[in-house]
Each structure stands twice: as C-alpha cells, then as structure tokens.
C-alpha cells in the first residue's frame, strides 16, 4: 500500500509542478505550447516554444508608454532581425531576440511586408508583428468633390485624422510657383501647358483617394495629377487644340461650367454659352448683340473667397458685387477667361468644355422649382422672361 502511495506521489508531483508553471507563465504559454509548427524542425520548435513560454510575460508587455503615432518603414528584403533593430532605433523598448523568436515560431517572418506602417510604442511584440503583415491596413480614404477649390481640399486634409501632413503643406505645393516644383509636379505642369507662376488649380482631379497614413502632401498631389492625366486623354487634348483652345483654357472654362451646372447633360450647353461670348470678345468685328464678357457669377465668388463668409468659399452675391468687386477674376468687368481656373472640375465639365454643344444661346438662368435645370436664351428679352 505504501509503495502505491509513493508511486502516486511521484506521478502527481510533476503534474502539479507543470500546472503551477503554466499558471505562472499565463494563458499565452498554453497557446504557444499547443501550437502546431510544421514549418520548423522539432528541435527548433521545442527551443522556440520553451523560450516563448518562459517569456510570455514579456510578450504581453507594451514596448513603451508613448501613444504618439510613428511612421515606421520596412524595406524590401528586411529580415526580422533588421526590423527589430529599426524598431529599437525608433525608441521601441523590446528584445530583438524575442521578436525574432516570436515571428519565426508563428511563421510570421514569411508574411512580413515592405511598406510604411503607423505604429505606436504601446503595442506589444505580437501586435507589432501582426501589423507588419498588412501594409495596406494603415491608409486613410477621403473624397475630393467636383468644383472644390484648393483651399477646400486643404480643409478636408486638416479635418482628416491620422494624416501626417496638413492642409498648409498641400497648398504650398499647389499654389503659385507650382510650375517650378522639381520632379513629377513640375514635369506635369510643363506637359499640361500651365503658364509659369500659375497654381495647379483646375488640375487637382476630384475623386476618392486612399493614402498611406504616413503619406506626404506630395504623394497626394502626384496622385491627383496622375489621375488627371489618366482621365483627360491625349485625344481630348488634341481635340481641344483643334478647337483653338489650349488645355489650360479648356480647364479654365470647365471650372466655370463646373460651378454653374447642376445636371451633367447641361454642361456642354452651358459651355457653348460662354464660348459664344468668349469668341465674340476676341472677334475683330464683335457682334453688338452678344455680350463681350462672360458674366460668370462663380468668378466673382472665387475673387471674394471666404472673406465675406468664413464658413464657405462660395458666398452668395449681391447685385452690387457684379460691378463692385474689383478683381481680374470678375468676368463682369473683364473680357475673356479669368486668369486661372477657379475650381477643380470633374470629367463631365472638362468634356463639356472641349466638346460643347453647338448653339446660338448667349444667356441661361436657373428657375425656381426646376431642380437646378437652366433655361437658355438667344437674346436679353428672352432671358428676362425665361422664368415667366
């Protein structure tokens, strides 16, 4: 009987010690010990399993206390050891050997991706490792609406969380002097025929953009300009030239059409009204029955900016504004197109400017209750009575 008790005791002691050890190591050790590791040979698997089990507490410890976001880059070909060194170099308090052991044991080292990641020092080693397997997770999506001016885009940038650049950085790239920018931006300005010293207004193509959280203002501007080149085809540019318009003139006209039109099907017709006036203003013998100025309200709104109403860049106009706002952009006072585009038009407006509907209309107006639809007239009397 005594021999049985001794045998039972000898069997129970290791079991009890193992339970106590697991309790000390925590639940993480159970996960590690129970993990299948077909990618490792048994000896390596055992060694890594033991290391991680004994140090499960360190795996659960944050790599610091600072929650501030950090842009962390992984280059193509970086090993787990190189990544661990980079993390330490950026102030992450972690054991590089433990990081390497963790990613190797869980076969994460084969899934680590190159890219830029948004990390913070409150993350644990397992959390960092998982984030480094998805370079597309840290992105920000925001939408640029058709007809917005650059300042409105900048405001969206400032209201979008997690971006590492501000609206002022964006405006510094797209404002006056953009044509002298080095690299893609300056090269685009040359290809697009943007005059020296002019901003990129009009060419910042409206769309929904997904940016890396750690992307720069230059990344955004380049994507918008690349989008413009993709949408505005070489054939469209050729056709604009055939119609005696430079691309810059076509985009300037399109920006006005964008601010005036509500319905896409009216954009070519609205463009025709402005072109009829514009061509009359440049004619050697202008027709006295056709205005020689564009008389486009949005150009005055552009000149006013947000000086009248800080909440909008497109403030309502008073009757006095048509003659009272002295600016090169006031197309009631100055013949021809404004000095630059006044907004960033969508594709339908650009197509309307390049392919206008042929018409004799020289006036249009929106009537109440018609959903933004316009009535077009060939003379001033018709225009005055267009809404009844």
Sorted by where each starts, the structural domains of the chain and their CATH numbers stand as 27-137 (3.30.1490.480), 139-231 (no CATH), 258-384 (no CATH)
Predicted confidence at residue 159, as pLDDT, reads 92
Q: What token pair was written down for 178? A: 């953009």
Q: Which residues contact 273 (CB under 8 A, 6 or more apart)?
A: 359, 361, 362, 363, 364, 376
Q: What token pair was written down for 175? A: 């404002």
Predicted confidence at residue 27, as pLDDT, reads 45
Predicted confidence at residue 335, as pLDDT, reads 94
In this structure, what DSSP letter does residue 32 have? Answer: H
Predicted confidence at residue 167, as pLDDT, reads 95
Low-confidence ranges of the chain (pLDDT < 50): 8, 17-22, 24-28, 30-31
Cα torsion for 277, 262, 254, 149, to the nearest 10°? 120
321-354 b/e with 16+ CB inside 10 Å = b?
beeebeeebbbbbbeebbebbbbbbbbbbbbbbb
Note the helical H segments in 55-124: 56-59, 80-89, 96-105
Predicted confidence at residue 153, as pLDDT, reads 97
In this structure, what DSSP letter does residue 204 have? Answer: S
Whole-model pTM above 0.85? no
Quick one: how far is CA 191 from the chain centroid?
23
Predicted confidence at residue 105, as pLDDT, reads 93
Positive or negative: CA dihedral 173, 179, 182, 187: positive
CB 342 within 8 A of CB 255: yes
Q: Which residues contact 246 (CB under 8 A, 6 or more apart)?
A: 193, 240
- Looking at every residue in the chain, the average pLDDT score rounds to 89
CB 325 within 8 A of CB 298: no
What confidence tens digit (pLDDT) does each residue in 207-232 have? Answer: 999 887 788 899 999 999 999 999 99
């Amino acid at each position: 009987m005594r021999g049985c008790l001794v045998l039972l005791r000898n069997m129970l002691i290791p079991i009890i010690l193992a339970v106590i050890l697991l309790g000390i190591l925590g639940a993480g050790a159970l996960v590690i010990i129970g993990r299948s590791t077909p990618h490792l040979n048994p000896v390596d698997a055992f060694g890594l399993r033991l290391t991680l089990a004994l140090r499960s507490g360190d795996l659960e410890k944050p790599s610091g206390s600072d929650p501030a976001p950090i842009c962390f880059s992984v280059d193509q070909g970086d090993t787990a050891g190189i990544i661990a060194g980079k993390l330490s170099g950026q102030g992450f308090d972690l054991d590089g050997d433990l990081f390497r052991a963790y990613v190797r044991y869980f076969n994460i080292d084969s899934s680590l991706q190159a890219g830029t990641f948004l990390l913070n020092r409150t993350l644990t080693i397992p959390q960092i490792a998982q984030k480094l397997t998805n370079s597309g997770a840290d992105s920000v999506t925001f939408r640029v609406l058709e007809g917005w001016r650059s300042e409105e885009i900048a405001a969206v940038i400032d209201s979008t969380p997690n971006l590492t650049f501000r609206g002022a950085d964006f405006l510094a790239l797209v404002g006056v002097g953009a044509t002298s920018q080095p690299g893609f931006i300056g090269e685009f300005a040359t290809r697009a025929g943007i005059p020296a010293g002019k901003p990129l207004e009009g060419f910042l193509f409206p769309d929904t953009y997904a940016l890396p959280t750690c992307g720069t203002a230059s990344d955004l501007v380049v994507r918008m300009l690349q989008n413009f080149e993709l949408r505005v085809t070489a054939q469209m540019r050729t056709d604009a030239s055939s119609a005696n318009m430079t691309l810059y003139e076509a985009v300037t006209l399109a920006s006005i059409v964008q601010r005036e039109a509500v319905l896409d099907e009216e954009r070519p017709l609205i463009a025709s009204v402005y072109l009829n006036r514009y061509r009359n203003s440049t004619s050697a013998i202008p027709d006295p029955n056709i205005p020689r100025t564009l008389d486009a309200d949005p150009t005055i709104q552009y000149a006013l900016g947000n000086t009248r109403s800080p909440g909008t860049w497109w403030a309502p106009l008073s009757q006095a504004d048509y003659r009272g706002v002295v600016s090169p952009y006031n197309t009631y006072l100055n013949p021809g197109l404004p000095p630059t585009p006044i907004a960033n038009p969508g594709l339908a407006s650009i197509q309307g400017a390049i392919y206008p509907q042929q018409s004799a209309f020289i006036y249009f107006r929106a009537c109440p209750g018609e959903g933004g639809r316009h009535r077009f007239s060939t003379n001033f009397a018709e225009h005055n009575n267009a809404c009844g």
